[in-house]
Amino acid sequence: MQYTKLGNSGLTISLLSMGAMNTSSAGEKLKIFDCAYESGVNYFDTADVYENGESEIFLGKFLSSKERSKLIIGSKAFFKKGDSVLEKGLSRKNIIHSVNTSLSRLNTDYLDIFYCHRYDDSTPAEETITTIQNLINNGKILYWGISSFSAYQLCEFYFKARELGCDLPIAGQYAYNLFNDDIKNLKETISKLNIGIIGYYPLSQGILSGKYNTKSIDRESRASNEFLKQKMWDFNEEKLNKAKEFSNLAKKLNYSPSALALKWCLSNSIVSSVLSDVSKIEQLVENLGFLSINMNQELTTEIESLFK
């Protein structure tokens, strides 16, 4: 595995990370996480709302057989979790309740990284930041970050934290893949503030792996579930055809499409790690192939010309 420093911190993170959003087949997922751990992956990501808390419980079981000091665990809070109007947002009450609940589910004393899952325009930034700082002071959080904030929102939180003398955010999670280059407009801001990007959906929810085509759908894939398919942003004929072109290019170079797509993401200087959420060990092995790819300018240009 290869590693880098995450943003403006001393935290060393693996270039490939594991997401625990989907843990329905917990037994198989545990084997995948064990394989990732043995391969050198040290960052594992979840959130308080994933699978109504089952994701954190699963990750807690995984942690129980590992040395905690060798792992980076991240979780998030913002989205509504129950019937109460209090169980959402970035208020002091919800953050404290969420972090305490996450720690209990994960069976750990601290989160390495706590993320504001989305921007909350109903809570003052000062309230959110001072709450996070108190949790850091109490040892329940080590670092913090944001997810899917605009450049303005990120700057608001960053400079408010600096004004208050609080710890600064070190990481930002953003959807990032060959179809979705939203962080392009954030690159200058992120570089100036030295925020490390952790990209999610690097394979565009599996589309860039080359496993989908316009004529048939694998019964074991997420696209075979109509509910999950509706959440796949790029599942349309035009993008499936584009993914097929990309897959052909990768295979011509003797690379797996998944590995090449991940390597393209990681060639961006502001990207510290990409989140992989696979359902089979074979897919994880394919993804790890990014380690042997040399992404030169000629290859980068050839890939990006397909997605103009």
What are the C-alpha distances in Å from 290 to residues 287, 297, 305? 6, 16, 20
What distance in Å separates the CA atoms of residue 71 and residue 226, rounded to the nearest whole number?
Answer: 35
Which residue type, as a one-letter code, is found at position 230?
Q
C-alpha of 225 from chain center: 23
Under a CB-based contact definition with an 8 Å cutoff, are residues 77 and 116 in contact? yes
Write down the H helix ranges in 138-209. 151-164, 187-193
d(CA 130, CA 146): 15
How far CA 186 is from CA of 83, 183, 196, 271, in Å, comes to 35, 5, 12, 12
The residue with tokens 């398919």 is: 229
- H-helix or E-strand spanning residue 211: none
Q: Where is 85: in which H helix or E strand?
A: none
- Alpha-carbon span 151 to 142, nearest angstrom: 24
- 176 among known catalytic residues: no
Residue 169 DSSP symbol: P
| Residue from 50, 158, 201, 255 carrying the catalytic annotation | 50
Mind telling me the catalytic residues?
50
